[in-house]
Every structure is written in structure tokens, then in C-alpha cells.
Amino acid sequence: MDWHRIRSDFPVLDQQVHGHPLVYLDSAASSQKPRAVINTLSHYYERDNANVHRALHELSNRATEAFEAARKKVARFVGAASEDEIIFTRGTTEGINLVANTWGAQNLKAGDVILYTGMEHHSNLVPWQLLAQRTGATLKHIPVLDDGTLDPASIDTLLNEQVKLFAFVHISNSLGTINPAKELCARAKAVGAVTLLDGAQSVGHLPIDVQDLGCDFLVFSGHKMCAPTGIGGLYGRMELLERMLPWHGGGEMIAEVRLDGSTYKQPPHRFEAGTPDIAGVIGLGAAIDYLEAVGMENIHRHDANLSHYAVQQMREVPDIRILGPQSGPRGSLVAFHFDWAHPHDLVEFANSHGIAMRGGHHCTMPLMKRFKVPGTTRASFYFYNTIDEINRLVEVLHAARKFFT
């Protein structure tokens, strides 16, 4: 693979920040976009822009065709059995809220257990907390071990017949831990629990096949996988989707509306009320085309190399505490802590050297408490990053240590 050529597909990377070449190590928060995706948006707005569905004029036909073609691409990309199992959302957060407010509100009652883990993003905690308040369901969580993995003994005891829903993150955005999704889904299925997989950090980083993984729901964000902001996807198994009542009411999701009541369309349209983010959806399709052209296996391998190298090199910085798995596979990110500098000071220091990282709780406050840190600094990678950039990061960490101590 010519990774340098691929890097040049990303115009944003070609700039200086504070007199240094930009080193963008914040892709876990949001990825950059290749020119192909940016151009798809411009092209859509310059040639084809119109509202989709229910129109017969040329622009609307073109927009509708591109829109529904993107749904097929997403279905194929995540291995869904049918494109009707793909619902477009604003992102991971909206997808989880949709499931909580439809499937969850319909199926959970007092005493049922919602199981999650101690490493969930707020997006995979708060919606279930709100749902538990509403239904009387009980919240339980699988604790995280010191090495950043889930406690197997707790899985044995907690993942039992009381559990109606098991929601867990595929790749932790704060630890880099890759959870054994296939095994966990199988075990959940064995006790009759429905599974929701938070794929925010895995979709676009690993090849994904929902049928092989065996999850019932998968949620992800386009903006973290080269697509525009504001678009994402929810995969749901049709058997579940077709029994779910609508969430948002409005245009496009109805079969018939009377002044006193209405009937609803089949999935996925039942769950897509109102004018969708048409350009965003088409841009997501273009991002998938782009990722597939690079190759998901290639991307995964490159990601893994970067994070492996980063962990190795960063371990040499004195006093550093790297969270998450210390060896073996990890997602393409490394979060770490120093006693001598607060994450925000470190991020500020790095920024003045052109390096973009994120410091703080990364929307995983309970995990920060678990590891007794006020927050961490996180360097996260994607296939457009290079070994050189990691070297540069390590250099800057050394300099920061000298400066702050």
C-alpha cells in the first residue's frame, strides 16, 4: 500500500499549526475526510440537490437513487442481511437513544436487567439510565480489570436470564480494549438477552459482519469513518425492527395520517421521520466506497501497526501510565496519564507543537473514576497517520516532561 499517496487524499492534513506540520492524532473523536467525500458533497449540491422520495422530477430522482444506493452500501459494509435493516441516524448517540426509546420502552419492565460495562461511553450509559427511570428496569455493569479488559468472573455471574439487554462497546474509546464481541453476543443470546454493540470506534476500523458477530443492534457514527458530520447508522435485525413502534413522528414514516391517528410504514422508513440528511447519507456512501477501495483489512493492519508501535515507544517515556491492554491487540488509540501534568496542559503543549490530541474524560467519567485519574491524554490514529508522526509525538512528550517537571 502506498500510504503516503493515501494520506495526500486528505487535504486538511496538509497545513501548519503554530509553525509545525499538523499531526492529527484525534481521529477517535472525529476522523478527517478524503477529497472524494468532500467532492461528493459539492457535486450533490451543485448538480442533484432535491428532497428525496415522493417526487418524480429529475433532481429528486437522482437524489433518491443516490440516497437509497448509500443504504445498500452501508448494509453490505456491515454485513446486514438486507438494506431494510439499516436506519440512518445522526450518529451513535442517536442510534442508541432510538433503540432505548423504541425497543427498550416496549420490552423492558420493572425488574428486568439492563447490563452494560464499566468502560461505556456516556452515549451507552445515559440513554439506559433514562430508560431505567422510565421503566423501573435495573442497571448493572461488568467491571473493568486493571488491564482494561472486562472481568470474566462478573460476566459469568451477571450475564444471566434476568438480563433483557446487553449493551457494550466494541472498541473502548478510552482504553483501546477490543472486546470479544462475537463471544459476548453468543453468551447473551444463550440467556435470551438482546445485544447492542457500540461500533463507534470499530466500524471503519475493522471489517464488520453483523451476522457473524451475532449482534441484534449495531450503532456507529459516520464522522469517525471519513464520512460527513451529522450522519450515522443503526443496524437492527429485521425481526426486532418490524415489531418496534415508531419513535419520531412526521413525514416519510407514515402510511396514512388522519387528524386523529396514523399508521406507519415498514422499517427502515418507520424510523426515519422528516427530511433526512440527504447529502450526509450520500457522503457516507462515498466514504464507504473510499474505505473499501483502500481495503478494510489494510486499514485494520495499518491501524494495528501504529498503535502497537505507539505503545512500545511511549512506554520509554518515564513516569507514563498507559491505560488499557499493555500487549496484544488494541484499537488505534493510546490514552495515558502523567502525574506531573494535567491532560489539558499536555494537550496545550502538544498543540503548540502542531500535534492535535484530546485530553479529559473522553465521555467515560465512570472509567476515569475506576482508574483514579482526573482524565487522560489520548492519541488516536487512523490509516492516514504515520510512524513519523508517532515519533514526533514521543519527542514532544519528552519535551513536555522536561518543561513541566
Partner 1 sequence: MPLSDELRDLYQQVILDHSRNPRNHGELPPPCLHAHGDNPSCGDEIDVWLRLGDNGVIEDLKFKGQGCAISQASASMMTQKIKGKSKDQAASMREDFRRIVMGDGAPQDEDALGELVLLEGVQKFPQRVKCAMLAWRAVEQALEGK
**Footprint of ligand PLP on 156-185 (CB under 6 A):** 169, 173
| CA dihedral over 135, 136, 137, 138, signed as positive or negative | positive
Is residue 275 at the binding interface for ligand PLP, with CB under 6 A as the rule?
Answer: yes
Nearest to 320 by CA among 376, 386, 266: 376
Regarding 200 and contact with ligand PLP (CB under 6 A), the answer is: yes
Nearer of residues 159 and 304 to a second copy, judged by Cβ: 159
The minimum distance between CB 350 and partner 1, in angstroms, equals: 10
Q: Is 274 in the site for ligand PLP (CB under 6 A)?
A: yes
Nearer to ligand PLP, 192 or 274 (CB): 274
Site map 216..255 versus a second copy, x via CB under 8 A: -----x-x----xxxx--------------xxxxxxxxx-
What's the rounded Cα separation, in Å, for the pair 16 and 34?
18
**Does 277 sit near ligand PLP (CB under 6 A)?**
no
C-alpha span between 210 and 140 (Å, rounded): 25
Strand segments (E) across 325-397? 333-337, 355-356, 358-360, 376-380
Contact status: 12 vs a second copy (CB under 8 A): yes
Asked if 93 touches ligand PLP (CB under 6 A), the answer is yes
| CB nearer partner 1, residue 293 or residue 399 | 399
Backbone angles phi, psi at 295, to 5 degrees: 105, 120
**DSSP letter (8 states) at residue 47:** I
Of residues 338 through 367, those in contact with partner 1 by CB under 8 A are: 341-345, 348-349, 352-353, 360-361
Kindly state whether residue 281 participates in binding partner 1, applying the rule CB under 8 A.
no
> Which three cell numbers, joined as nine digits, stand for 122?
456516556
**Cell representation of residue 373:** 485519574
Whole-number minimum distance, CB 90 to ligand PLP, in Å?
A: 7
Three-state SS letters, 92-158: HHHHHHHHHHHHHHHHCCCCCEEEEECCCCHHHCHHHHHHHHHHCCEEEEECECCCCCECHHHHHHH
Q: Is 363 a catalytic residue?
A: yes
Per CB under 8 A, which of residues 363..392 are in contact with a second copy?
Answer: 363, 365-366, 369
Q: Which does 169 bind (CB under 5 to 8 A by kind): ligand PLP, partner 1, a second copy, none?
A: ligand PLP
Least distance to partner 1 from the beta carbon of 201, Å? Answer: 21
Give the helix ranges, DSSP H, for 315-386: 343-351, 365-370
> 266 to 295, contacts with a second copy by CB under 8 A?
273-280
Q: Residue 120, Cα to own-chain centre: how many angstroms?
A: 12
Q: Does 318 bind ligand PLP (CB under 6 A)?
A: no
- Per the omega criterion (within 30 degrees of 0), is the bond before 329 cis? no
Measured CA distances, 223 to 28, 358, 367 (Å): 10, 16, 24
Note the residues at the interface with partner 1 (CB under 8 A): 18-19, 53-54, 56, 61, 64, 254-256, 265, 341-345, 348-349, 352-353, 360-361, 374-375, 395-396, 399, 403-404
- Residues designated as active site: 363
